[in-house]
Structure formats: C-alpha cells, structure tokens
C-alpha cells in the first residue's frame, strides 16, 4: 500500500444531480486493488475515503470513485465544485476493509443510497468470476437513484426498495429468508440501515462470519501527543516527551522491549498496564487485552501511568 502520491483527474462524469464520478490516473503504474477497496484522498479539509467503483480485473491504470455532495463545506463539496480535469490530487492506498470472500457460493448485497459504491466494483468482479449475486437497493426514487443506468445491466439481479421503513424491513426479511448454505451477505449504507439488515440476519441465524459490514478501520493517529509520566516495574520513573514514544523511552533506558513494526500492527512491543489511563492507537489488541496491555510504539498514557516490562518480552 503506497503512502501519499499524486494522481491526475482524467475524467469527471455527472452521475445524478448530486453525484459525480471521477477517474483518477497516473503516469506510473498504479497498484491493483480488490473489489470493495477504497482510496484515501488528502484534501485541504482533511482525509476522505471513497470506494473504488471499477472492476478490479479490468482496471487499466486508473481509479474511479463516486462522490455524493453532502454538505456545503466538506470534502464532497470541494470535489464537486473545485476539482477539474487535469488537476492533481494527493492520495494514499488503495486499502480494503470490505473484501469479497471467494468461497461464497452466492452473494446478497444490501445497499442504501450512496452505500452502493463498494458494490459497483463487486458486481462486475463476481460476474467476471462467474459467481451469482443479487443486489437489494434502498433508494428514495428508483429512476433517479445513483447509477441507475449502470444497474440496468443486472435487471434480473437488482431489487429496488423505495417504501417506508416498515416496508423496507419486511422486504429485507423476505430477501433473507430460506437462504442456502454458502450464502454471504454484504451491507453498506447509513448506520440504521446496516443495523436493520444485520439484526435480521441474526434473527434468521446466519453465522456472523458470512455477514460482512465494513470491518475494522485503522486506529486514528494521536493528534497533539502530550508528555506523560511512567512508573516501570514499580520502580523507575520516566518522562515520555511529546515528540517520542514510550517504546523509544524504554529502549533508551535499557529495557529489553522487543519491537518490529513501530506502527501498532505487529504486537511485539506490548507492555502490561497496571495503572492509569491509556489512549490506544494500535490496530492489534483486542478490547479485552486493552484492559491491561498497551503497545508502546504508538499508544500513550494520560498524565501518569504505571507499567510492567517483563525481562524477556517474547509474545
């Protein structure tokens, strides 16, 4: 996964009055991606993530994203009003928290509104693989819904829901009833919609591992890190300055903490927390483990904490 790099806007297409699709490309080869992947755009107002909508198996050195204009001063507004063909955009990725599982025999997609975007790459991908799928799509108005033309390609497999909440709920349930082994479910849309679909799969006893929502996201980097005090093994008192990590301080003091990634991913630099409040910034520890452990390369104490560092720190 590449860190920040520039891509060029090659094409902009007005999909609906509210939605524009952007084609981004690069002179050098861009990395391949999988269905369900997204790209992070680094915009003046901050980082924004958008699903890639092209077929990963037919990608020709370009990334396509679809952006719905939601507010007057956010990232989507910027992309809609200020970005033009030929402009450069700083991006990173692609990354994927919503991968398609190849072992599925049949896939049911549930989308609402602009939540359709990850499925725009999944549907052609599964078609290329010769796998069956269906899309259940909740929209305000069928004919003016995002990517209506696009979806007409799959008339047999697409079901539109545009009724009340109660009606939608009933339709979702009907769509999920009497499903066969090997079925996988993917959901994307507003929180309430995702909840409704996921709850229904629970009621109908779908194993949770075949129901896919956007999974874990990277932990946020701690902004404005502050200094904090650490008591180690009930003795030494150290001060971790704002511009250093706990791991660096411990290593400087000669504690034998092992480490590898320094990114909160590998879990090597774990220490035991015996007191105080910790801001966790890793993507490794489970919620349970966070109760008394921290990864010293990225996570920080608040004010004063106490930790234990064992003599040998194999995981």
Partner 1 sequence: MKKALKTYRHVLIISDHVHRERAKCKQRELQNRDRFVQLKVISQLGDGTVEALLSEQPIGSALILCGEGALETERVAVSLGYARNDIYIETQQQMRAFCSQCHHITSLVTHERFVCENCRNQLEPSEHYSSYHRAHLAYPVFIESDD
Partner 2 sequence: MSSKVEFPFPFTSDHYEYTNNSSPLIPARTVTVSSNYVEEVRLKRKLLEENHERCYRSLPISLESQWETLLLVFRELATYEPEHFSFKRRGNTYVFTNHLLQEEETFVYRDHSSIDFEPLDLVGRHVQEDLIVMGDRHDGLFLEAGQLCFPSNWSLTFVLGMEFKTIHTPVPAIAEFIEKVERFITRIRPNTAWERKNWSITISHKLDTPLETYSDWGKLRYHVTKENAGELVNLRVEVQRLFRLPVTNDILFSIHTYLLPLNELVANDDWLKKFYTNVKTLPQELADYKGISLYKPELLGFLEKALKRRKIER
Chain positions contacting partner 1, by CB under 8 A: 103-105, 178-183, 204-207, 209-210
Question: Which DSSP helix (H) or strand (E) runs through 120?
Answer: helix 117-129
Residue 216 CB, shortest distance to partner 1, in Å, is 21
Residue 239 CB, shortest distance to ligand FES, in Å, is 20
Residue 277 CB, shortest distance to partner 1, in Å, is 33
Q: How far apart are CA 118 and CA 128, in angstroms?
A: 16
Bridge partners for 161 per DSSP: 138
Q: What is the largest CA-CA distance in the chain?
A: 70
Q: Are 21 and 65 in contact (CB under 8 A)?
A: yes
Q: How far apart are CA 100 and CA 122, in angstroms?
A: 7
Residue 284 CB, shortest distance to ligand FES, in Å, is 6
- Angle of CA points 56, 57, 61, to nearest 5°: 65
Runs of H (alpha helix) within 11-64: none
Q: Does 297 bind ligand FES (CB under 6 A)?
A: yes
Q: Which does 1 bind (CB under 5 to 8 A by kind): partner 2, partner 1, ligand FES, none?
A: partner 2
Residue 294 CB, shortest distance to ligand FES, in Å, is 10
Residue from 107, 196, 269, 307 touching ligand FES (CB under 6 A): that is 269
Residues 245-264 touching ligand FES, rule: CB under 6 A, are: 259-262, 264
Q: Are 77 and 69 in contact (CB under 8 A)?
A: yes
CA atoms within 13 A on the CB side of 121: 29
Q: Does 271 bind ligand FES (CB under 6 A)?
A: no
Q: Which does 179 bind (CB under 5 to 8 A by kind): ligand FES, partner 1, partner 2, none?
A: partner 1
Closer to partner 1 by CB, 72 or 181: give it: 181
Q: Which does 99 bind (CB under 5 to 8 A by kind): partner 2, ligand FES, partner 1, none?
A: partner 2
For the record, the structure tokens of 211 come out as 């129901």
């Amino acid at each position: 996964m590449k860190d920040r790099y520039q891509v060029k806007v090659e094409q902009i297409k007005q999909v609906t009055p509210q939605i524009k699709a952007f084609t981004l490309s690069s002179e050098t080869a861009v990395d391949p991606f999988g269905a369900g992947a997204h790209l992070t755009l680094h915009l003046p107002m901050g980082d924004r993530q958008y699903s890639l909508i092209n077929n990963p198996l037919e990608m020709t050195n370009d990334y396509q994203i679809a952006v719905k204009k939601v507010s007057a001063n956010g990232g989507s507004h910027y992309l809609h009003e200020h970005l033009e063909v030929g402009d450069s955009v700083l991006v990173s990725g692609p990354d994927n928290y919503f991968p398609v599982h190849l072992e599925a025999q049949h896939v049911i997609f549930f989308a609402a509104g602009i939540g359709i975007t990850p499925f725009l790459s999944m549907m052609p991908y599964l078609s290329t693989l010769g796998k069956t799928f269906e899309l259940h799509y909740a929209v305000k108005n069928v004919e003016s819904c995002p990517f209506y033309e696009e979806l007409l390609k799959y008339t047999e497999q697409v079901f539109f829901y545009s009724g009340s909440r109660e009606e939608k709920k009933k339709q979702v349930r009907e769509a999920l009833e009497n499903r066969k082994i090997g079925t996988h479910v993917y959901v994307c849309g507003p929180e309430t919609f995702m909840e409704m679909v996921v709850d229904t799969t629970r009621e109908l006893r779908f194993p949770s591992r075949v129901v896919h929502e956007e999974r874990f996201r990277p932990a946020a980097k701690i902004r404005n890190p502050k200094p904090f005090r650490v008591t180690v093994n009930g003795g030494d008192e150290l001060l971790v300055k704002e511009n250093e990590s706990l791991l660096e301080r411990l290593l400087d003091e000669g504690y034998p903490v092992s480490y590898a990634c320094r990114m909160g991913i590998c879990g090597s630099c774990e220490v035991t927390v015996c007191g105080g409040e910790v801001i966790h910034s890793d993507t490794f520890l489970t919620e349970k483990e966070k109760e008394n452990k921290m990864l010293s390369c990225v996570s920080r104490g608040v004010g004063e904490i106490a930790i234990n560092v064992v003599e040998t720190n194999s995981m």
